[in-house]
Amino acid sequence: MGNTRTHQRPVGRRITPQRAQFRRLAESADIGTVTRAQLAVLAQSLTCTGLINGTESHLLVALINTAPAESFDKSGRPIVFKSNQQLAFEIGRSIGRVSRMLSRLFDAGLITMQDSGNYKRYPIRNGNGEITDGCGIDLRILIVRYAELDGLVRQVRAEKKAADAALRRYRGALRNARHALSAAAELSAQVLDRIGSRIERVRDVVEAAGKGSSGMLRRATAILEWLVERVMQLPRRSAEVSETNNMTCPHVENGMHTQITIPHPFDGSREERRSANAKQSHSLEAGSASKWAFEESLRRGRSEINQPRRVPQAMVALQDVLRAVPALKTCGFAPSSWAELARAIPLMCRFAGISEDARARAVEQMGERQAAVAVAVTLEKYDRQEVSSPGGYLRAMTDRARAGELHLARSVFGLAARNCMEIRH
């Protein structure tokens, strides 16, 4: 007859490394620094963070209120010894559900538990009747994590408040954009249809995202306000106005812009947009002598073009670029480093209506830093209404960079000087 193997019943609740860490953390609690009332208020507020649901919050509040108020004083030990059956009766749930909720609270680091061999909960007292240890539900970890959890609740509430404010501003910007579109009389029907379509795409994307995050709403508001300025044909903003503009736009490419932005929303000729020698409007005001936009005129013969001469680009400081291109701040960009300016290239291209292909060719030919400067200069020219085809303008700059005849530093310093003179006058 073979040997019989007895399977010993597992003792206590399943222990994981995380739960063991929570137990160790609870032992470091400085009891007496947080009151029971503070913990009860915190437990009710944790639902807004998504850390626990409403029923779990109800159970946690019941546990906190079960512990005597003096147990949160210096010499106390906030441990609850009620059974799952009693807790289930008090909160109106089944025993099994209370057990599962206790496990979730344990995993969330809101309680710790110490089970006895027979799963009973009881205190261990000293000769003076004071509780020194026990098998039960320990609330000390709430004291340890009070500042962390309270800060999380405050952060979530602040984000909700910011999202509400961004939603109100977005709705106002959408209403203003529609009103400006209906009141516009100087633009052609084709241009008005394109702008109206773009406004509705912004609305559709925001609505599809369930009103979206505060960042998405701010970006949508920035686009709508920018479209209103185009519809009303307002003059470009001055540097002082750009400095005080409080609209921000994160310097990353996002799905919303990919969906709502169409290249060249205000140009009527597709051939003109595709041409590398796109025509530049107001060329005299722009200070350019040819269709190569703001760069120096092409004076060399065809033989020199066939054998391009690489000219090293003069380096410009980021502050020079910011002074030369106030349109960056007008559109909500405030780069503090070259890396941030490079990350803003996709959004700048979408604000100016530059295609993905034109952007990719510019980055491939010039590198990210020089391409960022070229796109920023193009955006400034477009904001001044001196360029009617930003995509063709950037392609022309890319061709000149390939021929070794692009001098971005001259353009940057020239624009900075013009902006300085305009501010003085």
Q: What is the pLDDT of residues 59-112, one digit of tens each?
A: 999 999 998 888 888 878 888 888 889 999 999 999 999 999 999 999 999 999
Residues 59 and 136 in one domain: yes
Boundary-marking domain end, from 149, 182, 204: 149
Q: Which of 194, 213, 232 is the last residue of a domain?
A: 232
Q: Is the dihedral of CA 122, 127, 130, 132 positive or negative?
A: negative
Instruction: Examine the fold and report which residue of 209, 232, 255 is the final residue of a domain before the chain moves on.
Output: 232
Residues 89 and 167 in one domain: no
The CATH number of the domain holding residue 113 is 1.10.10
End-to-end CA distance of the chain: 109
Question: Are 68 and 186 in the same domain?
Answer: no
Task: Give DSSP secondary structure letters for 62-88.
Answer: HHHHHS-GGGGSTT---EE---HHHHH
Predicted confidence at residue 289, as pLDDT, reads: 35
259 occurs within a structural domain: no
Asked if residue 320 and residue 410 are part of one domain, the reply reads yes
Instruction: Based on the fold, state whether residues 126 and 196 are members of the same structural domain.
Output: no
**Do the strands 122-125 and 137-138 form a parallel or antiparallel pair, or are they unpaired?**
unpaired
- Establish if 141 belongs to a structural domain: yes
Domain count within the chain: 3
Is 133 a member of any domain?
yes
44 & 162 share domain: no
Q: Determine the pLDDT at residue 39.
A: 93
- What's the mean per-residue pLDDT of the chain? 76
Query: Is 313 within 8 Å of 408 (Cβ atoms)?
Result: yes
Q: Which domain holds residue 358?
A: 315-423
User: Is-contact 362 394, C-beta < 8 A?
Assistant: yes
The reply to whether 127 falls in a domain is: yes
- At which residue do the structure tokens 């160790």 appear? 24
Sign, Cα dihedral of 121, 35, 20, 28: negative
Phi/psi at 169 (5° precision): -70, -35
CB 96 within 8 A of CB 86: no
Does pLDDT of 420 surpass 70?
yes
Query: Cβ atoms within 10 A of the Cβ of 41, count?
Result: 14
Q: Give phi and psi for 79, each to the nearest 5.
A: -120, 135
Query: Distance of CA 347 to CAs 223, 261, 420, Å?
Result: 11, 10, 26
Same domain? For 226 and 174 the reply is yes
Residue 211, exposed/middle/buried by CB under 10 A (0-12, 13-18, 19+)?
middle
* Alpha carbons 126 and 130: distance in angstroms, whole number: 6
Residue 241 within a domain: no
Burial of 146 (0-12, 13-18, 19+ CB in 10 A): middle
DSSP state of 4: P
Kindly state whether residues 87 and 167 are assigned to the same domain. no
Confidence of residue 54 (pLDDT cuts 50, 70, 90): very high
State residue 411's pLDDT score.
85
Residue 240 DSSP symbol: H
- Segment 366-379, tens digit of pLDDT: 888 899 999 989 98
175 and 133 in a single domain? The answer is no
State mean pLDDT over 399-421: 84
Count of C-beta atoms within a 10 Å radius of residue 133:
13
Q: Which of 106-120, 128-142, 351-365 has the highest mean pLDDT?
A: 351-365
Does residue 115 sit in the same domain as residue 30?
A: yes
DSSP H or E stretch at residue 131: strand 131-135
Domain-embedded: residue 54? yes
Are residues 171 and 200 located together in one domain of the fold? Answer: yes
**Is the same domain home to 132 and 40?**
yes
Residue 212: how many other CB atoms lie within 10 Å: 20
Instruction: Decide if 289 is inside a domain.
Output: no
Q: Report the pLDDT averaged over residues 45-49.
A: 92
